[in-house]
Amino acid sequence: EQERCERAKELGGDRIREHYGRFFTMLDPPKIAIITILEVLRLCSSNPKSGREGVAKVLGLKTATLVNALSTAVHNEIRFNRMKKRSNRHITGRNISVARLASSGKLFNIAVRRAKAHELRENSNQDWLDTWDITTKTRIGSLLLSMLIETARIPEHYSDPETGGRVQRMVPAFSHGYELSQGRKFGILTAHSALRELFKNDSIVGVINARHLPMLVPPRPWLTYNSGGYLSQDEPCMRIKDNAEQLRYLKKASNDDRLYTLLAGLDSLGLTKWSINRPVFDAVRKVWNSGKALGKIPAHSFETPEPAKPEDFETSDRARVKYRMEMQEWNNSRASQHSERCDCNYKVEIARAFLNYPMYFPHNMDFRGRAYPIPPHFNHLGNDLCRGLLVFHEGRALGERGLYWLKIHLANLFGKDKLSHDERLGFVEANMHNIMASADNPVPDSLVDGSAHAAQPWWLEAEDVWQALAACIELTAAVRSAEPTAYVSRLHIHQDGTCNGLQHYAAMGRDKKGAFEVNLMPSDRPQDVYAGVLNGVVRLIDEDARRGVAEAVALQGKLTRKIVKQTVMTNVYGVTLMGAKEQIGARLREVKDENGQHVFDLVAVSRTALYVAKKIFESLGEMFTQAQQIQNWLNESARRIAKSMPEPALESWKRMILDAKESQAKFRSALRDAKDNSRVLDNETILEIRPDLGPGAQRRKRLNALATKPMTTVVWTTPLGLTVVQPYRKLSKRCVATSLQSIAVNDVNMPSPVNSQKQKTAFPPNYVHSLDASHMTLSAIECKKAGLVFASVHDSYWTHACDVDRMNDIIRDQFVQLHRRPIMADLKAEFEDRYKDHLMPVVGWEYVAKSNFVDGGKLKLNKARVTKKTERAQKEKDVEMELALRHLEACGEAEAEGDAAVLEHRERKQAAAVEDERIQRAAEDLSASLEVLNLREVTLIDPKADLAG
DSSP annotation string for 573-611: TT--HHHHHHHHHHHHHH-B-TTS-BSS-TTTHHHHHHH
Can you point out the beta strands (E) in 366-478? Answer: 371-373, 390-392, 396-397
In single-letter form, the type of residue at position 350 comes to I
Helix ranges (H only) for 500-576 are: 500-508, 512-517, 529-546, 550-555, 561-571
Backbone angles phi, psi at 415, to 5 degrees: 80, 20
Active-site residue flag, 795: yes
The enclosing H or E element of 934 equals strand 932-934
Burial grade of 82 (CB within 10 A; 0-12, 13-18, 19 or more)? middle
Burial grade of 334 (CB within 10 A; 0-12, 13-18, 19 or more)? middle
Q: Which of 28, 282, 496, 659 is catalytic?
A: 496
Helix ranges (H only) for 204-257 are: 244-255
Q: Which of 31, 121, 45, 16 is nearest to 76 (CA)?
A: 31
Cα R_g (the chain), whole angstroms: 33
Q: What is the largest CA-CA distance in the chain?
A: 120
Q: Which of 267, 511, 795, 803 is catalytic?
A: 795
Cα–Cα dist 769/728, whole Å: 16
Cα–Cα dist 66/44, whole Å: 9
Beta bridge partners of 840: 933
Cα–Cα dist 902/834, whole Å: 59
**CB–CB of 714/838 below 8 Å?**
no
In single-letter form, the type of residue at position 70 comes to L
Cα–Cα dist 547/134, whole Å: 60
In single-letter form, the type of residue at position 499 comes to C
For residue 47, the number of C-alpha atoms closer than 13 Å in the C-beta half-sphere is 16
The enclosing H or E element of 261 equals helix 260-270
Q: Which of 137, 565, 581, 643 is catalytic?
A: 565
Q: How many other β-carbons are positioned within 10 Å of the β-carbon of residue 354?
A: 19
User: What are the catalytic residues?
Assistant: 496, 565, 795
